[in-house]
Chains A and B, each alone.
Chain A
């Protein structure tokens, strides 16, 4: 069972990771979930449709991503592909900049705490 803070970290980071995936190339739900699990499954746990799709709906609603229907060769039907909007690209760069300074800041605290622990 995951602790609450781990869940909070994951939830906050998942939105940014999805935007990163969509910024690389136009992609679709199953592909995103597969990549998330390949690249981060060991830390994030298995990502599922039930977690990813609600976030995609919010990103669509806020205009950070857009979607379009394309033919799906596998089943002969249609598939929804997601791409980043201009606003989404701007927001993602802001998020990345903040994330880097945030991670550096947390790291400073962790390093000092670890050093103090060793000195004891």
Chain B
């Protein structure tokens, strides 16, 4: 019963590893002390409340529970930066890529073919990083302003 409870708290607790270890060790101590007083595990669990609810309460007090809007912003930023990094890597590769010697269509000497008026599509790969930086900036400024307003 105790093991199951602690397992459920571990599964639902969203705090850094060190804090999680501390909370779980405290639970072990709590059950052990209660046993020494002659209390049942069920009585302790009754006072602790539902395991998921206890884990949520601890996370909330430690400021680890993200509000829905903030969570959405974090997800959006993660996706945005994921795409931005991938685009940046592709852009870097496209700029440094060397055509291997002897490949079909490869010319040893210079040719007189000139491409004019074409758009450098590779530059488009810089768009996602730019959007990510812009979005991060906007969200950061909004957050700072919101925090300032809440202090007034």
Residue A110 lies at the interface, judged by CB distance under 8 Å to chain B: no
Residues of B close to A106: CB separation below 8 A: none
Which 8 A/B pairs are nearest by Cβ-Cβ distance? A75-B36, A50-B49, A74-B36, A58-B61, A48-B47, A54-B61, A54-B57, A50-B48
Q: A48-B48, A72-B36 are in contact. List 16 more A-B contacts (CB 8 A).
A: A30-B33, A49-B30, A49-B44, A49-B47, A50-B47, A50-B57, A53-B26, A61-B19, A72-B33, A74-B33, A74-B37, A75-B32, A75-B33, A75-B36, A77-B29, A79-B33
Q: Give A74 to B34 CA distance when docked, in angstroms.
A: 10
Q: How far is the CA of A77 from the CA of B47 in the complex (A)?
A: 22
Beyond A50-B53, A50-B54, A74-B37, whether A57 also contacts B29 by CB under 8 A is no
* Residue contact A78 to B29, C-beta cutoff 8 Å: yes
The digit string for A29-54, where 1 denotes a CB below 8 A from any CB of B, is 11000000000000000001111011
Interface string of B27-66 (1 = CB under 8 A from A): 0011011111100000010011100011001101111000
Instruction: Judge whether A55 is part of the interface by a CB distance below 8 angstroms.
Output: yes
Contact present for B35 and A75 (CB under 8 Å): yes
B53: chain A residues at CB < 8 Å are 50
A75, A78, A79 — most chain B CB neighbours (10 Å): A75
List 13 contacting pairs A-B, 8 Å CB cutoff, sorted by A.
A29-B26, A48-B48, A49-B44, A50-B48, A50-B49, A54-B58, A58-B61, A75-B33, A77-B29, A77-B33, A79-B29, A79-B33, A80-B26
- Determine the interface band of chain B, counting residues with CB < 8 A from chain A: 20 to 34
CA distance A30 to B60 in the complex (A): 22
Give the number of residues in A that approach B within 8 Å (Cβ atoms): 19
Which residue among B19, B23, B30, B60 has the maximum number of chain A CB atoms within 10 Å of its CB?
A: B30
Chain B interface (Cβ < 8 Å from any Cβ of A) = 19, 23, 26, 29-30, 32-37, 44, 47-49, 53-54, 57-58, 60-63
Given A29-B30, A80-B26, A80-B29: A57 and B49 interface contact (C-beta under 8 Å): no
Closest residue to B35 on the A side, CB-wise? A75
In chain A, what residue has the closest Cβ to B34?
A30
Residue of A nearest to B39 (CB): A30
Alpha-carbon separation in the docked complex, A53 to B62 (Å):
11
